[in-house]
Amino acid sequence: MSGTITHDPPPPTTGGGRPGAPLIVTEDAGLLDDLLRLCAAAGATPEVHHTVPEPRGSWEAAPLVLVGDDAARRVRGAARRPGVVLVGRDQDDSGVWRRAVEIGADHVLMLPDGEQWLVDRIADVAEGVGRPALTVGVIGGRGGAGASTLACALAVTSAREGLRTLLVDADPLGGGLDVALGGETAKGLRWPAFAASHGRVGGGALEESLPKLHSLRVLSWDRGDCLAVPPRAVRAVLAAARRGGGIVVVDLPRRVDDGVAEVLTQLDLGLLVVPAELRAVAAAGRVASAVGMVLRDLRVVVRGPYTPGLDDREVARLLGLPLAGDMPVEPALRRPHQAGRPPGVSGRGPLARFCKEFWERALVEARAA
């Protein structure tokens, strides 16, 4: 059992104590053993006290404070702060809520039921988690629409602007974005290596394990027979990718299976790339209907050349979607990955400008949200 009293995030780690180290306050030996075990599972080494530490710098600076129910009375006079969790064992003790209010706890948690939640919370502070990555999915309205090209260009542009960037290839039949970026032989893990993942994947460990190409990290497919990973692995890996902050770009297939649905639930927005022709618009409408069942913020990117009578606004109107922009036509779209140079890598040309302007708008929206 667990419950929330307030939901303020823990403060950033400053001052005394170890960076990312939670503070445990308890004299209950059994409870302490359990909390130490959970901290170890989350990769954190806590600071332990029987009461509010003196001087109180550790109490104020710790990113997360775990107060045993036995110690609630002893910490009553401590300064109020967010990030305090009251931890107990007695599921039937209604007085625990009163004690939580008295110490200013923002969460009440009972073991063993709340163990996974607590491991995740401890791991968050151990990794220094802040604002999650702005996560954008790109999907083609029909085959050959240019979605992979746009996904690569967006990721390369983000990395060139100095943002931590991770490009995720969610289409096992797409040939591999590592190939598109000229890195098919680059060292690092691909999707099949994460097929057994479940629970929590460390964000830092994930990032370090992936190939680094054009200043960004890439999670792609290998050339083996594995064509899918379980949805729980997709969920765990993408959640880890998002916890690192910055930008995550996902190249999506046009079908929506269980794994793709897991990706869609973690996207901040989706871009549907639609060539400006009636047949493509009709196909894109079907894709939009399927994707829109999971993803609320889906926008259309229209790609020329234009069929007579169609323009970008008319395509968006026909699809009933907001217009994200007009994807420019340039030679890079016809020969996108020659010599391992993805579109947008030089920072010049209409496609690079389109991507830069898109990120400027999207990041402003994300900060305002």
Q: Is the pLDDT of residue 17 over 50?
A: no
Please compute the mean of the pLDDT values over residues 352-361 and round it to a whole number: 94
Q: Is the link from the previous residue into 55 a cis peptide, with omega within 30 of 0?
A: yes
Q: What is the pLDDT of residue 204?
A: 82
Q: Is pLDDT at 130 greater than 80 in this prediction? A: no
Q: Alpha helix locations (H) across the chain?
A: 29-41, 57-61, 95-103, 115-126, 147-160, 177-180, 203-209, 231-243, 258-265, 278-292, 312-319, 331-334, 350-368
* Spatial contact of 61 and 20, defined as CB atoms under 8 Å apart: no
Mean pLDDT estimate for the chain: 88
Q: What's the pLDDT at 26? A: 97
Quick check: 119 and 233 in contact, CB under 8 A? no
In the predicted model, what is the mean pLDDT of residues 225-242? Answer: 90
Measured N-to-C along each axis, helices 231-243 and 258-265 cross at an angle, to the nearest 10 degrees, of 20
Looking at residue 328, what is its pLDDT? 84
Block residue for tokens 């009578």:
309
What's the pLDDT at 335?
Answer: 52
Task: State residue 250's pLDDT score.
Answer: 98
Q: Is a pLDDT exceeding 80 seen at residue 83?
A: yes
For residue 343, give the amino acid letter. P
Structure tokens at 55: 């001087």
What is the model's pLDDT at position 14? 37
Q: Determine the average pLDDT of the residues in 322-336.
A: 74
Taking CA atoms, 236 is separated from 202, 217, 241, in Å, by 9, 17, 9
Classify residue 192 by its DSSP letter: G
pLDDT, residue 9, reads: 40
Confidence tier at 356 by pLDDT (50, 70, 90): very high
Q: Is the pLDDT of residue 131 over 90?
A: no
pLDDT bracket for residue 336 (50, 70, 90) = very low
Task: Round to whole Å and give the CA distance between 355 and 157.
Answer: 6
Place of tokens 């889906």: 298
Q: Say whether pLDDT at 3 is over 70.
A: no
In what side-by-side order are the strands of the sheet with 298-303? 212-213, 216-219, 165-169, 247-252, 134-140, 269-275, 298-303, 323-327
Residues in the chain: 369
pLDDT over 50 at 273, yes or no: yes
| pLDDT, tens only, 161-182 | 999 999 999 999 888 899 888 8
Q: What is the pLDDT of residue 157?
A: 95
The predicted model scores a pTM of 0.74
Up-side HSE of residue 188: CA atoms within 13 Å toward CB?
22
Read out DSSP for 327-349?
E---HHHHSTTGGG--TTTTS-S
pLDDT of amino acid 259: 92
Is the pLDDT reported for residue 331 higher than 70? no
Q: Quick one: which of 10, 310, 323, 264 has its CA closest to 136?
A: 264
pLDDT band at 8 (very low <50, low <70, confident <90, very high): very low
Give 99's pLDDT tier (boundaries 50, 70, 90): very high
Q: Enumerate residues 6+ apart whose C-beta is below 8 A from 276.
A: 302, 303, 304, 305, 306, 307, 310, 311, 312, 315
pLDDT at res. 89: 92
Q: Are 292 and 263 in contact (CB under 8 A)?
A: no
Report the percentage of the chain scoring pLDDT > 70. 90
pLDDT digits (tens, 9 = 90+) for 105-119: 999 999 999 998 898
